[in-house]
Amino acid sequence: MAKTAQAVLDMMKKENVLVADFRFMDFIGLWQHFSIPAREVDLATFENGLGFDGSSIRGWQTINESDMLMKPQADTAFIDPFYEHKTIVFICNICDPITGEDYTRDPRNIARKADQYLKGLNIGDTAYFGPEAEFFIFDDIRFDQNVHEGYYHIDSVEGRWNTGREEGPNLGYKPRFKEGYFPVNPTDKYQDLRSEMMLALEAIGIPVEAQHHEVATGGQAEIDMRFDELLPMCDNMAKYKYIIKNVAHKHGKTVTFMPKPLFGDNGSGMHVHLSIWKDGKNLFAGDGYGGMSQTAMYAIGGVLKHARALLAFACPTTNSYKRLVPGYEAPVNLAYSRRNRSAAIRIPMIHTSEKSKRFEFRCPDPSCNPYLALPAILMAAIDGIVNKIDPGSPLDKDIYDLPAEELAKVPQAPGSLEEALKALEEDHEFLLKGDVFTKDVIEKWIDYKLNNEVRQIDMRPHPWEFALYYDI
């Protein structure tokens, strides 16, 4: 895709593009957009931006300061594969219309500043991220809650709970609980659908390394993008969710990135791989534990030290903490290890070349806003490097089989979103360095999540409470 505004305009004319669609990530993590006729786009559009009402976007402006600008970034342009009329998409930065300054609560702006902060410290010039987002493909989802009832109902032709259902005929081959990783078809019913998702991602310029069924029954899946630099990867994560949801929708399926939609089987995580480079050299490669450098160990120390606060961004929903419980693959113990998937940080040992050395933070989940979660992880790693934070000794045992007295010494992830937000309130100075995250971002995030999510869940009866308490 062309990189300059003029080149994009020339391409639009050559390709007979009819519609221009402008997108930005809201504060919580949902892509927003509006469209104009393609003929209305000119060089001034890129320079001056387009106005919109910021008071209607979650967590942003008040009604008396509602006017905002979105400025399309020419190098993000791609042709949308789903619209009937040929449409070009631009990802936008958000600005104040009076001062022209970048808006502090624009998540994309935060990712840009984190990248600049890394370069400014002269620690490294590039941070590479490789998030592995999991998701579920369902056939049907119904949910509601009001004054006298509350329920959800999920269905999937792959669901193990449907082995006895009349399907006219029921052909079986439904993955057993925790055994979806990864039998061939006909047990895996979504190979072709995942391949279509993979090829759709590649068609808009996102390289994919692998696609496969995941552990849970009911259509859990994973498609892994190739690693990239921080800002492009955040953009790619937004595109990733969009492509996957819309390919599924085209086939009458529904996709969710909700971390824990099914009780009793694995949830969906987003393991995040990170390495920092300088002058073309991987700073994490060395001759220490797991083939890592001392710089890498300090970075691990920073992520572990700030992990509880990080999860306010990386596991940002009340549902996230239904996944972060002992007994499943999701780690709740804040330790590091090579190979051991029960540790919060794993050093992969499958690839041993210098270029492949990295660590994997396994706590995050795909409900996060990538423009907030990935910069926060980077800021914690940078803090570890700058302050030479020792991560302690590795924990190479199966953490879930540790004796109680030994397990008690291992720090724990928060048990709820409220705990994570409290940790963020107490530990966020590392995020404010370089003005990457600002005080108003931290305060608004905590306030929004507490009042719009945590308190709302607290006030509503849960179906299982009736099983526990109705006959008291």
* 290: its two tokens: 């797991």
pLDDT at 1 over 50: no
Averaged pLDDT, 336-357? 84
Query: How far is 275 from 285, CA to CA, in rounded Å?
Result: 9
Is 362 annotated in the active site?
yes
- Exactly one of 115, 360, 365, 383 is catalytic; name it: 360
Instruction: Name the packing angle between helices 107-121 and 230-250 (round to 10°).
Output: 150
Residue 297: Cβ within 10 Å count: 26
pLDDT at 257 over 70: yes
pLDDT at 423 over 90: yes
pLDDT of residue 399: 67
Pairing of strands 19-25, 87-95: parallel
Q: In which band, very low, low, confident or very high, does the pLDDT at 327 lie, cut at 50, 70 and 90?
A: low
- Residue-wise pLDDT for 398-422, tens only, equals 766 778 888 788 899 999 999 999 9
- Residue-wise pLDDT for 217-235, tens only, equals 999 999 999 999 999 999 9
pLDDT at 328 over 80: no
Q: In which band, very low, low, confident or very high, does the pLDDT at 310 lie, cut at 50, 70 and 90?
A: very high
Q: Which residues pair with 470 in a beta bridge?
A: none
- Exactly one of 26, 80, 106, 134 is catalytic; name it: 134
Query: How far is 357 from 293, CA to CA, in rounded Å?
Result: 9
Which amino acid, residue 94? I
Query: How far is 257 from 370, CA to CA, in rounded Å?
Result: 13
Averaged pLDDT, 230-247? 98
- Exactly one of 10, 15, 42, 53 is catalytic; name it: 53
- Exactly one of 194, 213, 271, 358 is catalytic; name it: 271
Could you tell me what percent of the chain has a pLDDT over 70?
97
> What are the DSSP calls for 366-382, one per residue?
TTS-HHHHHHHHHHHHH
* 217: its two tokens: 């029954």
Is 224 annotated in the active site?
no
- Residue-wise pLDDT for 292-301, tens only, equals 999 999 999 9
Residue 79 burial (C-beta neighbours within 10 Å; 0-12, 13-18, 19+): middle
Q: Which residues pair with 249 in a beta bridge?
A: none
- Residue-wise pLDDT for 433-467, tens only, equals 999 999 999 999 999 999 999 999 999 999 999 99
> What are the DSSP calls for 182-247, one per residue?
-PPTTTS--HHHHHHHHHHHHHTT--EEEEEE-SSTTTEEEEEEPPEEHHHHHHHHHHHHHHHHHH
Is 425 annotated in the active site?
no
pLDDT of residue 13: 96
- Exactly one of 362, 365, 428, 453 is catalytic; name it: 362
Is 360 annotated in the active site?
yes
pLDDT at 361 over 50: yes
Is 149 annotated in the active site?
no
pLDDT of residue 63: 61
Query: How far is 266 from 260, CA to CA, in rounded Å?
Result: 7
- Exactly one of 80, 132, 265, 453 is catalytic; name it: 132
Is 115 annotated in the active site?
no
Query: How far is 435 from 117, CA to CA, in rounded Å?
Result: 9
* 436: its two tokens: 């990457």
Helix, strand or coil for residue 57? coil
DSSP letter assigned to residue 285: B
Is 222 annotated in the active site?
yes
- Exactly one of 222, 228, 235, 418 is catalytic; name it: 222
Q: In which band, very low, low, confident or very high, does the pLDDT at 329 lie, cut at 50, 70 and 90?
A: low
pLDDT of residue 404: 80
- Exactly one of 214, 224, 265, 365 is catalytic; name it: 214
Averaged pLDDT, 135-153? 96
* 329: its two tokens: 């693959």
Q: Which residues pair with 433 in a beta bridge?
A: none
Q: In which band, very low, low, confident or very high, does the pLDDT at 64 lie, cut at 50, 70 and 90?
A: low
